[in-house]
Amino acid sequence: MSSVKNVINDSYKLMLLKDYLREAIKEAGFSEVDIQKTPTGTRVGLHVTRPGIVIGRKGSGIRDLTAVLEKDFGLKNPQISVIEIVKPELEPSVMCNRMSQHLARGTAFRRAVMWTMQTIMEAGAMGVQITTSGKLRGDRSSFEKHSKGILPRAGHAAEVIVSEDIAHVQTKMGLIGVRIRIARKERFIPEFELKAIKKEAKPIVEEVPLEIEIVEEAQIDPTKPRTESEVIELEEKLIEKVETFEEVEEELK
């Protein structure tokens, strides 16, 4: 098999693996997967919002997932590591999955768009753009594009700062596609940056080793959502209060 066919075959397997993980660990807030081949096996890094759901009780979830990856997807000796996402609101894949679940539950697409943009910007994004396409309001297909903040469209800055993802959801009206592009402030690298040089002062007093205080682990807050489904249910009540452009126009008339 040629090198081109190998690349195509690996890309196809990776696509099937992502589709499986999106559904298998949906409640854990799956974002992306990193695969690295090593001489001893295959390293699989799972980026999720709730690692405890993937790990399972006493590691049962990891063992079951390892068996599936080895048997169904042909990964040699898979070694799974779970990586927690600190800010899920700034991950396009997580927000695409959440918005698609809102649309599947029957939420109006404009309300879902307004709520998603508001959530992303409040999390500290520099800019966001959401594109919805498909049978949005009738039998004819159409698309709408909404944006907020600063979002580079082309060039090196767009490749570094902006990340995007696409999700598809089946509704009663038909198939709807959701594309979310997010620009993150921390990835922005200024062209010029001046830094003040500070001289480190030598300590007068000799350093004394500090005693480390052992603190018990904090208990899990029962009021916070534990799965993605619980997050969607809480957001459903808040989305109803979001004003759309049509409602604002009616008030101005």
Convert the pLDDT of each residue in 15-42 to its tens digit.
888 888 888 888 888 888 888 888 888 8
Q: Is the pLDDT of residue 252 over 60?
A: no
The DSSP letter of residue 176 is E
Q: For 156-160, 176-180, 188-192, which range has the lowest pLDDT when averaged over its residues? A: 188-192
How confident is the model over 214-238, as a mean pLDDT? 64
Burial level of 158, CB count in 10 A (0-12/13-18/19+)? Answer: middle
Span 88-191+227-252: which CATH code?
3.30.1140.32
Per-residue confidence (pLDDT) for residue 218, from 0 to 100: 37
pTM: 0.74
What is the number of other CB atoms lying within 10 angstroms of the CB of residue 20?
16
The CATH class given to the 3-84 domain equals: alpha beta
The confidence score (pLDDT) of residue 128 equals 94
**Model pLDDT, residue 200:** 58
Over 39-84, what HEC string results? CCEEEEEEEECCHHHHHCHHHHHHHHHHHHHHHCCCCCCEEEEEEE
Average pLDDT taken over every residue of the chain:
80
User: Is residue 11 over pLDDT 60?
Assistant: yes
pLDDT of residue 189: 65
Of the candidate ranges 99-103, 136-140, 174-178, the one whose mean pLDDT is the lowest: 136-140
Q: What is the pLDDT of residue 191?
A: 56
Percent of the chain with pLDDT over 70: 80
Q: Does residue 127 have a pLDDT over 70?
A: yes
Find which of 10-24, 208-222, 228-242 is predicted with most confidence, using mean pLDDT.
10-24
How open is the CA angle 128-175-50, to the nearest 5 degrees? 55
Check if the beta carbon of residue 45 is closer than 8 Å to that of residue 85.
Answer: no
Domain boundaries, the chain: 3-84, 88-191+227-252
Q: What DSSP character marks residue 139?
A: S
